[in-house]
Amino acid sequence: MSELIDDDRQRDNRTLFAKLCVIVVGMFGFGYALVPFYEKICEVTGLRNIAQADVVQNTQVDPTRAVRIEFDSNVRKLPWKFYALSPVVDVHPGELTQVVFEIANTTDRPLTGQAIPSYGPPNAAQYFRKLECFCFAKQTLQPGERRQMPVVFVVDTSLPADVATITLSYTFFEVEGADKT
């Protein structure tokens, strides 16, 4: 009788182990397939399309309205100093504006990074048009190198009236194994 119980337990354990293996393989496959699926979604919707300049539709300046633009500068696991020379600017929608950021490599080796922008409030991204930005390309800094990099932008005149402040946040991430650009 005890042999039958032991056989049943072993069979149950093998079945449980087989199910667990199928779940693990399925999760790995899903995670692996998610990357190209995500890239395709971003391509179709235009999300994460940070490598090219925006198109400005309207060139009329609205002098009756001012929008406060705040710049937030961050580095993620990258030993660089990074900040906007003017952390806050007031602009009129439709007005062409340039802000300069400074970056410095504080290490004794060359490093390559890529800046990823984000906006607050999130809907502000569709009204913030960057014509020139260091975020369009990887940045390689030599040991001790310091660089000033411009961002040229226009806030679209169709920005909703209830948006008085836009925060543009850049986070630099190290690009491992990157070629110099």
Within a domain: 45: yes
Quick one: 111 and 73 in the same domain? yes
Within a domain: 167: yes
Quick one: 79 and 162 in the same domain? yes
pLDDT, residue 57, reads 60
Quick one: 100 and 167 in the same domain? yes
Within a domain: 59: no
Quick one: 82 and 44 in the same domain? no
Quick one: 110 and 151 in the same domain? yes
pLDDT, residue 181, reads 42
Quick one: 82 and 126 in the same domain? yes
Within a domain: 180: no
Quick one: 40 and 81 in the same domain? no
Quick one: 78 and 135 in the same domain? yes
The tens place of each residue's pLDDT in the chain, 181 residues long, gives 666 666 777 777 788 888 888 888 888 777 767 666 666 665 555 555 555 555 556 568 889 999 999 999 999 988 999 999 999 999 999 999 999 999 999 999 999 999 999 999 988 988 998 999 998 899 999 999 999 999 999 999 999 999 999 999 999 999 875 444 4
Place of tokens 């060359």: 110
pTM of the shown model: 0.67
* Boundaries of domain holding 117: 67-174
pLDDT, residue 60, reads 85
Quick one: 73 and 145 in the same domain? yes
pLDDT, residue 180, reads 45
- We report the CATH number of the domain holding residue 98 as 2.60.370.10
Quick one: 95 and 147 in the same domain? yes
Quick one: 41 and 75 in the same domain? no
Quick one: 133 and 83 in the same domain? yes
Quote the CA–CA distance of 91 and 154 in Å, as a whole number: 9
Number of domains in the chain: 2
